[in-house]
Amino acid sequence: MKNLLLLFSLIFFISCNESAENNKETQNPEAEKTVSNDSVPNFGIVIHGGAGTIRKENMSDSLEQAYKEKLEEAIRTGHEILANGGTALEAVQRTINVMENSPLFNSAKGAVFTNEGKNELDASIMDGETLNAGAVAGVTNVKNPINLAYEVMVNSDHVLLSGKGAEQFAKEQGLEIVDPSYFYTEKRYKAMERAREREKEENNKTAFYDPFIKDEKFGTVGCAALDKHGNIAAGTSTGGMSNKKYNRIGDSPIIGAGTYANNKTCAVSSTGWGEYFIRGVVAYDISAMMEYKGLSLQEAASEVIQKKLPALGGDGGIIAIDHDGNVAMEFNTAGMYRATMNKNGELKIGMYSK
């Protein structure tokens, strides 16, 4: 009997030690603290920096590193806000601001150029608690369009403002206005010039379907978050499509297509070929499948992105978080810049296909 007790104690000791080793491998010290306290409310955050033909073989080590660092900086910004008890709405805004201020993404600072050589910016944000929402389309001088979308949501009677009127509202709200030249980056300007050239060669028709140009329009950024108060929110910010004409508006400022959030279900931000995301009402469709069909977030995201969207002819991806903190990062392109971080501080960063 004594021997048996000793044996059990030994087994117990070994297995405890193994468990501790595993924890060290996957979690940072801060995470261990939160793991040991189950009473800490759940929270989490997930971001994307655009989906497209993102392949390891086309990426230099230094560029890959730059993307990874910026994704990590962005997501840690929002995670810290959430860890400190801040709101999902604030985390979404500040996280997106980091990506908006980087030339790496097709959003604000790194926005692509229109056919007329301008940068037209779109953004939207939605509050899953109140179902309130704000969005802007075609602004040219607002440093952080996601902040303007937020102001539209909380300080106007409207959901969607556009062009000069949206800029006037930005000024009245005291947002940071920049000279349009702030959005100039040589890389994006050259991309627009190449797109123009191709369009001439191809008789104005195929440029939109040119794989090169298609990828140039990717790079939209987005974020979805769950805060400790149990509220979720999502936001999206983009420079639209390289060489775009006719004041085209994509899915990013469209509630239900580019952005959707509802505490009942999930918060979603889309990236990809906007026209198909509008026709598929992609962000809301994921929520509707959860609410009406009882699908999990992952099941709904997979159904919409891997089946319904390609059936229409569209491609791209979404990131989303549900009211329980489950996360989806689903795309049908070669890659999607993405990252997620949970309440334990576990960080995952990805760029290429799974």
Give the one residue of 20, 131, 154, 177 binding a second copy; rule: CB under 8 A.
131
**Which position has the token pair 């995470």?**
31
Least Å distance, CB 18 to a second copy, is 45
- Is residue 138 within the footprint of a second copy (CB under 8 A)? yes
CA distances from 94 to 23, 28, 190, 236 (A): 30, 23, 29, 12
Q: Does 208 bind a second copy (CB under 8 A)?
A: yes
58: contact with a second copy by CB under 8 A: no
Q: 235 vs 12, 156, 334, CA distance in Å?
A: 47, 18, 23
Catalytic residue among 87, 95, 114, 220: 220
Assess contact for 79 and 339: CB atoms under 8 A: no
Q: Can you say whether the dihedral through the CA atoms of 148, 149, 153, 159 is positive or negative? A: positive
Contacts for 56 with CB less than 8 Å, ≥ 6 apart: 64, 352
173 binds a second copy (CB under 8 A): no
Q: Nearer Cβ to a second copy, position 53 or 115?
A: 115
Stated as kind and residue range, the H or E segment containing 38 is none
113 Cβ neighbours under 8 A, 6+ residues apart: 119, 188, 189, 191, 192, 242, 243
105 counts as binding a second copy under rule CB under 8 A: no
* 312 lines the binding site for a second copy (CB under 8 A): yes
Under rule CB under 8 A, which residues in 235-294 are in contact with a second copy?
245-250, 254-257, 260, 274-275, 278-281, 284-285, 288-289, 292-293
CA distance 183 to 314: 28
Smallest gap from residue 274 Cβ to a second copy (A): 8
Instruction: List the one residue from 67, 105, 150, 169 that touches a second copy (CB under 8 A).
Output: 169
**Catalytic status, residue 140:** no
- Helix (H) / strand (E) element for 204: namely none
- Number of residues lying near a second copy (CB under 8 A): 45
Residue 43 or 150: the one with the smaller Cβ distance to a second copy is 150
Residue 27 lies near a second copy (rule: CB under 8 A): no
Gap between the Cα atoms of 221 and 213, Å rounded: 18
CB count within 10 Å of CB 168 equals 11
Alpha-carbon distance values, 186 to 26, 98, 102, 182 (Å): 40, 20, 14, 12
**With binding defined as CB under 8 A, does residue 16 bind a second copy?**
no
Give the C-alpha separation, 147 to 175, whole Å.
8
φ/ψ (deg, to 5) at 148: -70, -40
Task: Report the half-sphere exposure of 66 (CA within 13 A, side-chain side).
Answer: 10
If one asks whether residue 132 binds a second copy (CB under 8 A), the answer comes out as yes
Shortest approach of a second copy to residue 345 CB, angstroms? Answer: 34
* Contact string (CB under 8 A) for a second copy, positions 82-101, x = contact: --------------------
Q: Which amino acid is at 104?
A: L
Per-residue contact track with a second copy, 145 to 164, x per CB under 8 A? -----------xxxxxxxxx
> Smaller CB distance to a second copy: residue 113 or 208?
208
Smaller CB distance to a second copy: residue 75 or 288? 288
Both tokens of residue 76? 């840690």
Q: Which stretch binds a second copy (CB under 8 A): 44-52, 85-93, 132-140, 177-185?
A: 132-140
Residues of this chain that interact with a second copy (CB under 8 A) are 126, 131-133, 137-138, 156-166, 168-169, 208-209, 245-250, 254-257, 260, 274-275, 278-281, 284-285, 288-289, 292-293, 312
- Kindly list the catalytic residues: 220
